[in-house]
């Protein structure tokens, strides 16, 4: 690596402002020194593997704009990589800052390498998913070294961050078997680690060999995303002892990574009632010393299959306003099926709305500028300007065009027509006659 430092954190601690920090500072409207200082403290992560060519770096931290991640990847039942690439390009066009390849079938490496060569968004993976596929051996036949080698493979391929379920140990097996949870473990990676420990009798390899994994991540500047294997999968399990004990361990692992200049994000719940979300964010910030929090949702109710992009957007807005830095999108297909292209689009828009609403609530510089421009455009009944400011201009324009108003009040919409309050006020303030019939 032809540079003075291995990782963004090491550079920041050396007083070096990297090219990636400069890009993040410009995007966030912050000074370069402000970004460098937060990266040095671990409160902002810039996942940026040097092997990921064409990356558009983003900063992840609670004091920056809320970022969103899009999960993609093939499964045994849905294995068309061309469709997955279509989802990737749609996600990038809609403004997703990160793509996680969660493929669990077939030859995964060519797709992963394609992402790292063509996609400008940050790329994340979950190496334990790929381990069974890569070696074509069942879970119990894999060794700790096999898992470590797959982490290295993903780092060499260029991924910017890896989710590692380091926080569960053999003690967790007893906790789960003793009962008390309705949904046990719902994390796919967490369940695989649990199953491997249960079948082999060995300790979690991602915990036992954590230092060796950190050395790999340091060498390739791969950010560790500490997976929450014990995240609640239903409201009844939210903020229970199993979840909190794992979080305590993740706090310890965060510090161990920082000691090696490895950047860290911490993953969080999950299914959480609205009244517990803010507390979850504050507990994480305290235990993990301000490391960026990366949350799935949270989903605020368990009974909305088909609409979980909405339940997640509600929770995500509260979470981000309360300190979460990174929202993993949820689609209408959550709990039901692999999302299709339209599901991905709906999930991204819902998550973007949540992130933007939270940024306004946090009072970030410039967060409300687009909303203010939209208000101006609405006051003027300037429809083209409204579409320009819309998060999803294509859908907004299609709805208006499909139900256009009549010609004598074409400046309004078909909801109010000549009863339009904006039209009436504009005419009244201009001293014009206001025709209603």
Annotated binding site for substrate: 71, 100, 129, 165, 187-189, 228-231, 267, 294
**What is the C-alpha to C-alpha distance for residues 125 and 169, in angstroms, rounded to an integer?**
22
Q: Specify whether the CB–CB gap between 282 and 34 falls below 8 A.
A: no
Q: Which two tokens stand for residue 220?
A: 């390739």
Other CB atoms closer than 10 Å to residue 435's CB: what's the count? 11
Q: What are the CA-CA distances from residue 153 to residues 147, 220, 226 (Å)?
A: 10, 11, 18
- Alpha-carbon dihedral sign for residues 310, 311, 314, 317: negative
From the CB of residue 202, how many other CB atoms can be counted at a distance below 10 Å? 13
| Cβ 311 vs Cβ 295: under 8 Å | no
What one-character DSSP code corresponds to residue 295? Answer: E
Sign of CA dihedral 127, 202, 257, 28: positive
Among 156, 227, 145, residue whose Cα is nearest residue 186: 227
What residue numbers does the annotated binding site cover?
A: 71, 100, 129, 165, 187-189, 228-231, 267, 271, 294, 335, 413, 416, 420
The annotation places the binding site for [4Fe-4S] cluster at: 413, 416, 420
Strand, coil or helix: 211: helix
Contact by Cβ (8 Å): 260, 253: no
DSSP state letter for 60: B
Q: Where are the alpha helices (DSSP H) in 209-307?
A: 210-220, 241-259, 274-287
Q: Which residues are annotated as a binding site for Zn(2+)?
A: 271, 335
| Greatest alpha-carbon span in the chain | 83
């Amino acid at each position: 690596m032809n540079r003075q430092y291995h990782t963004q954190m090491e550079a920041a601690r050396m007083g070096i402002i990297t090219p990636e920090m400069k890009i993040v500072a410009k995007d966030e409207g912050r000074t370069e020194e402000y970004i460098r200082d937060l990266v040095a403290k671990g409160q902002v992560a810039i996942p940026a593997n040097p092997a990921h060519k064409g990356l558009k770096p983003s900063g992840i931290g609670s004091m920056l704009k809320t970022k969103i991640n899009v999960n993609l990847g093939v499964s045994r039942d849905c294995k068309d990589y061309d469709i997955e690439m279509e989802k990737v390009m749609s996600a990038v066009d809609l403004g997703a800052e990160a793509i996680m390849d969660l493929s669990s079938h077939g030859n995964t490496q060519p797709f992963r390498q394609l992402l790292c060569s063509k996609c400008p968004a940050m790329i994340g993976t979950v190496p334990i998913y790929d381990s069974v596929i890569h070696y074509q051996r069942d879970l119990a036949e894999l060794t700790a070294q096999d898992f470590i080698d797959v982490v290295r493979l993903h780092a060499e391929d260029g991924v910017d961050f890896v989710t590692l379920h380091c926080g569960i140990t053999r003690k967790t097996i007893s906790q789960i078997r003793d009962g008390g949870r309705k949904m046990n473990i719902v994390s796919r990676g967490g369940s695989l680690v649990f199953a491997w420990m249960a079948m082999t009798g060995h300790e979690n390899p991602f915990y036992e060999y954590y230092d060796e994994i950190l050395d790999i991540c340091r060498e390739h500047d791969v950010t560790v995303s500490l997976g929450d294997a014990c995240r609640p999968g239903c409201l009844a399990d939210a903020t229970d002892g199993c979840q909190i004990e794992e979080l305590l361990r993740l706090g310890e692992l965060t510090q161990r990574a920082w000691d090696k200049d490895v950047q860290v994000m911490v993953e969080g719940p999950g299914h959480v009632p609205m009244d517990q979300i803010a507390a979850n964010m504050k507990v994480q910030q305290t235990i993990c010393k301000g490391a960026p929090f990366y949350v799935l949702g949270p989903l605020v109710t368990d009974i909305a299959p088909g609409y979980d992009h909405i339940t997640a957007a509600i929770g995500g807005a509260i979470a981000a306003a309360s300190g979460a830095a990174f929202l993993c999108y949820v689609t209408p297909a959550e709990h039901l099926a692999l999302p299709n292209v339209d599901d991905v689009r709906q999930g991204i828009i819902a998550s973007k709305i949540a992130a933007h609403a939270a940024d306004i609530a946090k009072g970030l510089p410039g967060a409300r500028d687009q909303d203010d421009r939209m208000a101006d455009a609405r006051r003027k009944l300037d429809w083209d300007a409204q579409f320009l400011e819309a998060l999803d201009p294509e859908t907004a324009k299609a709805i208006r065009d499909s139900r256009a108003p009549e010609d004598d009040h074409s400046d309004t919409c078909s909801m109010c027509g000549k009863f339009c309050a904006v039209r009436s006020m504009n005419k009244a303030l201009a001293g014009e006659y206001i025709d209603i019939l």
